[in-house]
Amino acid sequence: MKLVAATVKNFRSVEDSEQFTLDEIACLVGKNEAGKSAILQALAGVNPHPAAPFEYNKERDYPRRHLTKYDERHEGGAAPVAITEWSVSDEAKALITDEFGEDAVMEGTLTITSGYGGKSIWTMPINREAAVEHILTSSNLSASELAQARAAVAKSTKNDQAKALREIEGASEKLAALAAKLDSFSGDVLARVRSLWEPLIPRFMYFSNYDRMAGEVQIEQLQDRNQMTQLRSDERRSLELFQDFLSFAGTSVSEIIAAKTYETFNARLKAASNTVTDEIFEYWTQNPFLSVEVTVGSAKPGDPPPLNSGTIARARVYNSIHRVDVPFSERSAGFVWFFSFLVKFAQVKDDEVPVILLLDEPGLTLHGKAQADLLRFFREKLAPHHQLIYSTHSPFMVDPERLTSARIVEDAAYLARGNKFETQGTKVRDDVLGKDPDTVFPLQGALGYEITQTLFVGKHTLLVEGPSDVLYLQALSAALKRKGRTGLDPRWTMCPTGGIGNIKPFVSLFKGSEMNIAVLADYASGQKKLIESLRSSTILETGSVVTLNEATGKAEADVEDLLDPDLFVDLVNATYSLTGDNRLTAETLDVAHPSERLVQKAEAYFRTLPDTIPTYDHYSPSEWLLIHPNILDESAGCEATLAKAEPLFTRLNGLLKV
């Protein structure tokens, strides 16, 4: 099961977040006090992991300004907190079809509404009537028994079906067995479906920026549950993280204490130290000269309690450059958090049922480069196995390669009558076009950091998908201008965005900067929804999204489809030095692939060539064309190519603003 959307209501600063969608990784971006933590904690209560228990509390969590009207606002029931939507996995569908037949599962998502009081409501994409009919027809009933069963079930409510079957006058043993089977479903097939699906729902694990592992603990205190329960919650979590740390290192308090010889004792500690060091420093590149060492020894009477008695376990960090070791707790706050998180994650990474990780301001105290390490850890270690939802207000914690995974969190306030501010509570937005510039600042910072390392944008910016688009358009424009015809106006600055999915976030972030933005995009079957979404949005002016299929007259097109096939094959042959039997012709290109797109045809043709020929790529031919512009004057198909390019440039130039 995968979480695909959520809505949070009636929780702290959130009255109704409105629905927001979720991917493998979702980044909640917002100012301090916007309500990011409230969103994460509300989700934490849906199905909490035992390692991070969480329970809704009406007095603590319900919005205070409405608490006295709770019963009036939610007459006859508990207030909902989190409404989560889940895509139904193939495994989950198979469990139902095996028991209730193919027609029992409908298209749609599973919706779970969790709220105060600990109960949840499931709305499942199940055809209840089809499921019941499957039970009846698969119970080896005679025709008369089947008719009796259908009549009884039709007259009953969903929870009284078993009772209705037992009340059939002269009910046979088969009907009695059928009634017993329905009884085993707690009275209804939907209850049975829920019991089959509940183990498949991922559990939520909330981890705060303030959860830090203790660097030294008294072993006896760890073993004494009474002492542990008397501690403050943050102290208890800190000590429990040390226990998790030992487990992460492949040992435990009891195993260390049970060692009978020094060699056994020392071997366990060294193994634990090596395991931890190898794991953490794969993703901690700030200082590769550190190692973690675990020691256990008798307390010293001069240490502060409770470390002045009993047996003390310590984690220390050794620096091989300075040849000094210091207590774990004295390392940087960023290092301590990163280490603590890895320890906590180790407790759930091998769970059979996936875990949804809820990270509140992760890496807040990390250096920008260390935050990049953390994002890499998210992509490489977490996302392939577990969904991740995290909050941030740091530009370096927004992945510029996944801008579309960002969700804007705002405390929606407005000026009401009497110049008083009223609030609608925390809102979560799927698009990155926030009303508050402070809210989207981390996104601007993340994208701006990437842009400043590649190229600058101008007042008039033409967004294209990749660098090859820029080179092709420059070459075609120059060829037209050499002939005294219309090329691309020099006021346009072409900017590659890295793909159609990045165009909308780019436009959203720079919409308020007085930039004139137009879009020239490829048009393929997998991109049609994205294009239509871009055109229907209000972030671009009408007509400013131009697709290459319009310029080429094809149903689908890339920038290469501006080229006549004869010119395209000459360009490809020249780029890759194709001669003899390997030489590409317009005829061999045409039959290489049924697609209209020249790129797909070329890719298919190159797959038939010897391994000594390089793989076809978008960029190489465009680069060759820019270096050898004369091919546009000499090759067959040049005029047909320029005849397609010139109207395109004329249209784009018409989008310029004075």
Which runs of E-coded beta strand occur in 1-93?
A: 2-11, 14-16, 20-21, 25-29, 80-87
User: What would the mean pLDDT of 618-632 be, rounded to a whole number?
Assistant: 91
Which range among 214-228, 354-368, 476-490 shows the weakest confidence by mean pLDDT? Answer: 214-228
| Cα torsion 295, 297, 301, 304: sign | positive
User: What would the mean pLDDT of 176-187 be, rounded to a whole number?
Assistant: 77
Contact indicator for 348, 49 with CB cutoff of 8 Å: yes
* Separation of alpha carbons 244 and 247, rounded Å: 5
Contact indicator for 446, 400 with CB cutoff of 8 Å: yes
Adjacent-strand bridge partners of 407: 28
Mean pLDDT, the chain, rounded, equals 85
**DSSP letters spanning 531-565:** HHHHHHSSSS-TT-EEEHHHHH-SSSB-GGGGS-H
Give pLDDT, residue 453.
43
Structure tokens at 41: 């904690």
* Separation of alpha carbons 391 and 40, rounded Å: 8
In CATH, 454-552 is 3.40.50 = yes
The band of 616, judged by pLDDT with boundaries at 50, 70 and 90, is: very high
Question: 3-class DSSP state for residue 411?
Answer: strand
Question: 3-class DSSP state for residue 523?
Answer: strand
Which range among 102-116, 275-289, 410-424 shows the weakest confidence by mean pLDDT? Answer: 410-424
Q: According to the per-residue pLDDT averaged within each range, which of 261-265, 328-332, 470-474 is highest?
A: 470-474
pTM metric for this prediction = 0.65
Which range among 92-106, 375-389, 472-486, 642-656 shows the weakest confidence by mean pLDDT? Answer: 375-389
Number of Cβ within a 10 Å radius of residue 597:
22
- Of 621, 655, 625, the C-alpha closest to 477 is 625
* Separation of alpha carbons 519 and 495, rounded Å: 10
Give pLDDT, residue 313.
84
User: What would the mean pLDDT of 543-568 be, rounded to a whole number?
Assistant: 93
Structure tokens at 618: 């978008």
Contact indicator for 82, 111 with CB cutoff of 8 Å: no
Give pLDDT, residue 227.
66
pLDDT in tens, 122-173: 999 999 889 888 888 888 888 888 888 888 878 777 667 777 777 787 778 8
User: What would the mean pLDDT of 314-335 be, rounded to a whole number?
Assistant: 85
User: What would the mean pLDDT of 513-530 be, rounded to a whole number?
Assistant: 82
* Separation of alpha carbons 341 and 398, rounded Å: 19
Question: 3-class DSSP state for residue 230?
Answer: coil
Contact indicator for 181, 167 with CB cutoff of 8 Å: no
Give pLDDT, residue 455.
44
Number of Cβ within a 10 Å radius of residue 334:
18
Which range among 224-228, 420-424, 493-497 shows the weakest confidence by mean pLDDT? Answer: 224-228
Give pLDDT, residue 384.
87
Phi and psi torsions of 535, nearest 5°: -70, -35
**DSSP letters spanning 388-405:** EEEEE--GGGS-GGGGGG
Structure tokens at 545: 């999204």
User: What would the mean pLDDT of 392-407 be, rounded to a whole number?
Assistant: 82
Give pLDDT, residue 443.
64
Compute the chain's Rg from CA coordinates.
32
* Separation of alpha carbons 456 and 292, rounded Å: 44
CA angle 445, 4, 92 (to 5 degrees): 150
Structure tokens at 585: 């012709």
Q: Where are the domains of the chain?
A: 128-186, 213-331, 454-552, 563-641
Number of Cβ within a 10 Å radius of residue 604:
16
- Of 531, 535, 554, 553, the C-alpha closest to 543 is 535
Helix residue ranges, H only, 117-169: 128-137, 143-155, 161-166
Residues in the chain, total = 658
**DSSP letters spanning 357-383:** EEEESTTTTS-HHHHHHHHHHIIIIIT
Structure tokens at 291: 């190692």
Structure tokens at 643: 């005849």
Structure tokens at 217: 């603990």
Which range among 189-198, 354-363, 452-461, 575-584 shows the weakest confidence by mean pLDDT? Answer: 452-461
